[in-house]
Protein backbone atom coordinates (compact mmCIF):
# COMPACT_ATOMS: atom_id res chain seq x y z
CA UNK A 1 0.00 0.00 0.00
CA UNK A 2 0.93 3.68 -0.39
CA UNK A 3 -0.63 6.02 2.18
CA UNK A 4 -1.52 9.71 1.74
CA UNK A 5 2.01 10.72 2.83
CA UNK A 6 3.63 8.52 0.18
CA UNK A 7 4.83 5.86 2.62
CA UNK A 8 4.96 2.28 1.31
CA UNK A 9 4.02 -0.67 3.51
CA UNK A 10 2.57 -4.18 3.40
CA UNK A 11 -0.54 -5.26 5.32
CA UNK A 12 -1.39 -8.86 6.13
CA UNK A 13 -4.40 -10.61 7.58
CA UNK A 14 -5.33 -14.27 8.07
CA UNK A 15 -7.83 -16.48 9.81
CA UNK A 16 -10.87 -18.71 9.34
CA UNK A 17 -13.81 -17.06 7.60
CA UNK A 18 -17.55 -17.29 8.21
CA UNK A 19 -19.31 -20.67 8.10
CA UNK A 20 -21.91 -21.08 5.35
CA UNK A 21 -24.67 -23.71 5.33
CA UNK A 22 -26.29 -24.08 1.87
CA UNK A 23 -28.84 -26.89 1.48
CA UNK A 24 -30.37 -27.48 -1.99
CA UNK A 25 -33.86 -28.68 -2.90
CA UNK A 26 -34.90 -30.12 -6.27
CA UNK A 27 -38.00 -28.23 -7.46
CA UNK A 28 -38.19 -29.40 -11.11
CA UNK A 29 -36.86 -32.30 -13.16
CA UNK A 30 -37.68 -33.59 -16.64
CA UNK A 31 -38.70 -37.22 -17.09
CA UNK A 32 -35.29 -38.17 -18.52
CA UNK A 33 -33.52 -36.28 -15.67
CA UNK A 34 -31.45 -34.29 -18.18
CA UNK A 35 -32.73 -30.93 -16.94
CA UNK A 36 -33.03 -29.95 -13.28
CA UNK A 37 -33.86 -26.83 -11.32
CA UNK A 38 -32.70 -26.54 -7.71
CA UNK A 39 -33.59 -24.01 -5.04
CA UNK A 40 -30.78 -23.02 -2.67
CA UNK A 41 -31.40 -21.47 0.70
CA UNK A 42 -28.93 -21.10 3.52
CA UNK A 43 -27.46 -19.02 6.27
CA UNK A 44 -24.01 -17.55 6.95
CA UNK A 45 -22.79 -17.74 10.54
CA UNK A 46 -20.28 -15.07 11.73
CA UNK A 47 -17.50 -17.41 12.86
CA UNK A 48 -14.72 -15.28 11.30
CA UNK A 49 -12.86 -12.55 13.17
CA UNK A 50 -13.42 -8.82 12.55
CA UNK A 51 -10.78 -7.82 15.14
CA UNK A 52 -7.56 -8.63 13.27
CA UNK A 53 -4.76 -6.12 13.86
CA UNK A 54 -1.27 -5.42 12.59
CA UNK A 55 1.18 -3.30 14.56
CA UNK A 56 -1.55 -2.48 17.07
CA UNK A 57 -3.92 -1.09 14.42
CA UNK A 58 -7.04 -2.69 13.00
CA UNK A 59 -6.54 -3.91 9.42
CA UNK A 60 -8.84 -2.76 6.60
CA UNK A 61 -12.33 -4.14 6.04
CA UNK A 62 -11.22 -6.35 3.15
CA UNK A 63 -8.45 -7.88 5.30
CA UNK A 64 -10.83 -9.15 7.99
CA UNK A 65 -11.60 -12.89 7.63
CA UNK A 66 -15.20 -12.53 8.83
CA UNK A 67 -18.20 -10.24 8.47
CA UNK A 68 -19.47 -10.16 12.06
CA UNK A 69 -23.11 -10.51 10.96
CA UNK A 70 -25.56 -13.26 10.08
CA UNK A 71 -26.31 -13.56 6.35
CA UNK A 72 -29.12 -15.04 4.29
CA UNK A 73 -27.93 -17.09 1.27
CA UNK A 74 -30.74 -17.55 -1.30
CA UNK A 75 -30.05 -18.95 -4.77
CA UNK A 76 -31.27 -20.83 -7.82
CA UNK A 77 -29.41 -23.43 -9.94
CA UNK A 78 -30.14 -24.95 -13.36
CA UNK A 79 -28.38 -28.16 -14.52
CA UNK A 80 -28.45 -29.87 -17.92
CA UNK A 81 -26.64 -32.90 -19.32
CA UNK A 82 -26.22 -35.35 -22.20
CA UNK A 83 -23.97 -38.41 -22.38
CA UNK A 84 -20.69 -36.50 -22.78
CA UNK A 85 -21.65 -32.89 -22.03
CA UNK A 86 -23.10 -31.10 -19.04
CA UNK A 87 -23.83 -27.43 -18.43
CA UNK A 88 -25.47 -25.16 -15.94
CA UNK A 89 -26.03 -21.71 -14.51
CA UNK A 90 -26.79 -20.36 -11.07
CA UNK A 91 -27.47 -17.21 -9.11
CA UNK A 92 -26.58 -16.76 -5.46
CA UNK A 93 -26.92 -13.81 -3.10
CA UNK A 94 -25.43 -12.94 0.28
CA UNK A 95 -27.82 -10.64 2.15
CA UNK A 96 -26.38 -9.16 5.35
CA UNK A 97 -28.55 -8.73 8.44
CA UNK A 98 -28.04 -6.20 11.23
CA UNK A 99 -24.67 -4.71 12.22
CA UNK A 100 -21.64 -6.29 13.84
CA UNK A 101 -19.88 -5.42 17.10
CA UNK A 102 -18.04 -2.52 15.38
CA UNK A 103 -21.32 -0.94 14.22
CA UNK A 104 -21.11 -1.68 10.50
CA UNK A 105 -22.13 -4.35 8.03
CA UNK A 106 -20.66 -5.42 4.72
CA UNK A 107 -22.69 -4.71 1.58
CA UNK A 108 -24.79 -7.40 -0.03
CA UNK A 109 -23.10 -9.58 -2.63
CA UNK A 110 -24.65 -11.07 -5.78
CA UNK A 111 -22.96 -13.81 -7.81
CA UNK A 112 -23.85 -15.64 -11.01
CA UNK A 113 -22.12 -18.42 -12.98
CA UNK A 114 -22.54 -20.21 -16.27
CA UNK A 115 -20.43 -23.22 -17.24
CA UNK A 116 -20.07 -26.13 -19.63
CA UNK A 117 -18.25 -29.43 -18.98
CA UNK A 118 -16.99 -32.14 -21.36
CA UNK A 119 -16.34 -35.71 -20.18
CA UNK A 120 -13.03 -36.80 -21.76
CA UNK A 121 -12.63 -40.21 -20.14
CA UNK A 122 -14.43 -42.22 -17.45
CA UNK A 123 -12.28 -40.51 -14.82
CA UNK A 124 -11.51 -37.03 -16.26
CA UNK A 125 -13.63 -34.04 -17.35
CA UNK A 126 -12.70 -30.48 -18.35
CA UNK A 127 -14.83 -27.37 -17.87
CA UNK A 128 -14.90 -23.68 -18.66
CA UNK A 129 -17.24 -20.88 -17.69
CA UNK A 130 -17.89 -17.29 -16.67
CA UNK A 131 -18.30 -16.08 -13.08
CA UNK A 132 -19.74 -12.65 -12.29
CA UNK A 133 -19.99 -10.84 -8.96
CA UNK A 134 -21.36 -7.49 -7.78
CA UNK A 135 -20.89 -6.27 -4.20
CA UNK A 136 -22.16 -3.15 -2.46
CA UNK A 137 -20.54 -0.56 -0.20
CA UNK A 138 -20.34 -0.98 3.56
CA UNK A 139 -23.14 0.49 5.66
CA UNK A 140 -21.96 2.71 8.56
CA UNK A 141 -18.28 2.42 9.57
CA UNK A 142 -15.76 1.00 12.02
CA UNK A 143 -14.79 3.90 14.36
CA UNK A 144 -11.20 2.59 14.53
CA UNK A 145 -10.68 2.98 10.76
CA UNK A 146 -10.06 6.56 9.62
CA UNK A 147 -10.63 7.21 5.88
CA UNK A 148 -8.74 10.52 6.23
CA UNK A 149 -5.58 8.52 6.89
CA UNK A 150 -6.17 5.74 4.34
CA UNK A 151 -8.69 5.87 1.48
CA UNK A 152 -8.92 2.08 1.56
CA UNK A 153 -10.86 2.38 4.83
CA UNK A 154 -13.61 4.58 3.34
CA UNK A 155 -16.86 2.54 3.69
CA UNK A 156 -18.30 4.33 0.63
CA UNK A 157 -15.48 3.03 -1.61
CA UNK A 158 -15.87 -0.71 -0.98
CA UNK A 159 -18.28 -1.71 -3.77
CA UNK A 160 -17.41 -3.12 -7.17
CA UNK A 161 -18.01 -5.71 -9.87
CA UNK A 162 -15.96 -8.40 -11.58
CA UNK A 163 -16.28 -10.97 -14.36
CA UNK A 164 -13.92 -13.97 -14.30
CA UNK A 165 -13.15 -16.66 -16.86
CA UNK A 166 -12.71 -20.10 -15.30
CA UNK A 167 -11.01 -23.31 -16.42
CA UNK A 168 -11.21 -26.57 -14.49
CA UNK A 169 -10.42 -30.29 -14.28
CA UNK A 170 -12.52 -32.87 -12.45
CA UNK A 171 -11.08 -36.25 -11.44
CA UNK A 172 -13.08 -39.31 -10.43
CA UNK A 173 -10.59 -41.65 -8.72
CA UNK A 174 -12.72 -44.80 -9.03
CA UNK A 175 -14.61 -44.73 -12.34
CA UNK A 176 -15.35 -48.48 -12.26
CA UNK A 177 -17.26 -48.20 -9.00
CA UNK A 178 -20.63 -46.79 -10.06
CA UNK A 179 -22.63 -49.98 -10.13
CA UNK A 180 -20.67 -51.36 -13.11
CA UNK A 181 -18.33 -54.38 -12.72
CA UNK A 182 -15.56 -55.21 -12.29
CA UNK A 183 -15.04 -53.52 -8.94
CA UNK A 184 -13.18 -54.19 -5.71
CA UNK A 185 -15.73 -54.06 -2.89
CA UNK A 186 -13.27 -52.47 -0.44
CA UNK A 187 -12.28 -49.76 -2.93
CA UNK A 188 -15.92 -49.20 -3.82
CA UNK A 189 -16.85 -48.60 -0.21
CA UNK A 190 -14.12 -45.98 0.22
CA UNK A 191 -13.87 -44.22 -3.16
CA UNK A 192 -17.18 -44.57 -4.95
CA UNK A 193 -18.95 -41.23 -5.39
CA UNK A 194 -15.87 -39.13 -4.68
CA UNK A 195 -14.54 -36.41 -6.97
CA UNK A 196 -11.64 -33.97 -6.83
CA UNK A 197 -11.68 -30.76 -8.87
CA UNK A 198 -9.19 -27.99 -9.57
CA UNK A 199 -10.33 -24.66 -11.01
CA UNK A 200 -8.37 -21.56 -12.00
CA UNK A 201 -9.93 -18.12 -12.51
CA UNK A 202 -8.70 -15.01 -14.30
CA UNK A 203 -10.55 -11.65 -14.22
CA UNK A 204 -11.49 -10.27 -17.64
CA UNK A 205 -13.50 -7.29 -16.33
CA UNK A 206 -12.88 -5.65 -12.96
CA UNK A 207 -14.38 -2.34 -11.85
CA UNK A 208 -13.85 -1.14 -8.27
CA UNK A 209 -15.50 1.86 -6.59
CA UNK A 210 -12.29 2.93 -4.85
CA UNK A 211 -8.68 1.95 -4.07
CA UNK A 212 -9.31 -1.71 -3.25
CA UNK A 213 -7.44 -4.98 -3.59
CA UNK A 214 -7.70 -6.27 -7.17
CA UNK A 215 -7.80 -9.97 -8.02
CA UNK A 216 -4.98 -11.09 -10.30
CA UNK A 217 -5.89 -14.81 -10.33
CA UNK A 218 -7.26 -17.51 -8.06
CA UNK A 219 -7.12 -21.31 -7.77
CA UNK A 220 -9.80 -23.39 -6.06
CA UNK A 221 -9.30 -27.02 -5.06
CA UNK A 222 -12.28 -29.04 -3.87
CA UNK A 223 -13.35 -32.52 -2.85
CA UNK A 224 -16.88 -33.84 -3.22
CA UNK A 225 -18.36 -37.04 -1.84
CA UNK A 226 -21.84 -38.01 -3.01
CA UNK A 227 -23.59 -40.83 -1.17
The yes-or-no verdict on residue 180 having pLDDT over 80 is no
* Residue 187 vs residue 141, higher pLDDT: 141
Where are the alpha helices (H) located in 69-220, listed in sequence order?
A: 185-191
Q: What radius of gyration do the chain's Cα atoms show?
A: 21
Per-residue pLDDT at 158 exceeds 90 = yes
pLDDT score of 186: 44
The distance in angstroms from the start CA to the end CA of the chain is: 47
Confidence of residue 184 (pLDDT cuts 50, 70, 90): very low
pLDDT single digits (tens) 33-66: 899 999 999 999 999 999 988 888 888 898 899 9
pLDDT band at 227 (very low <50, low <70, confident <90, very high): low
Of 5, 3, 41, residue with least CA distance to 20: 41
Q: What are the φ/ψ torsions at residue 58 (nearest 5 degrees)?
A: -65, 135
pLDDT of 181 strictly over 50: no
**pTM, full prediction:** 0.82
Residue ranges of domains in the chain, CATH in brackets: 19-225 (2.40.160)
Mean pLDDT score across all residues of the chain = 87
Q: What average pLDDT score do residues 103-119 get?
A: 96
- At 9, is the pLDDT very low, low, confident or very high (cuts 50, 70, 90)? confident
Closest by Cα among 161, 192, 191 to 179: 192
pLDDT score of 120 more than 60: yes
Mean pLDDT of 212-224: 90
User: Average of pLDDT values for 187-211?
Assistant: 83
- Where on the phi/psi map is residue 157: left (φ > 0), alpha (ψ -120 to 50), or beta? alpha
The 3-state DSSP class for residue 151 equals helix
Amino acid sequence: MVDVDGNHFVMRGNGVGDLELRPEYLIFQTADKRHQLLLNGGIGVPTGSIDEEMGGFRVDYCMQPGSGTVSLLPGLTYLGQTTAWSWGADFKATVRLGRNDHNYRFGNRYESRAWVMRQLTSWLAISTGLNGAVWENIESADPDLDPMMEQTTDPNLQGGKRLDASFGLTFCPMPCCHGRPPCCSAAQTFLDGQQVFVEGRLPIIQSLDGPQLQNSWSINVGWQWMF
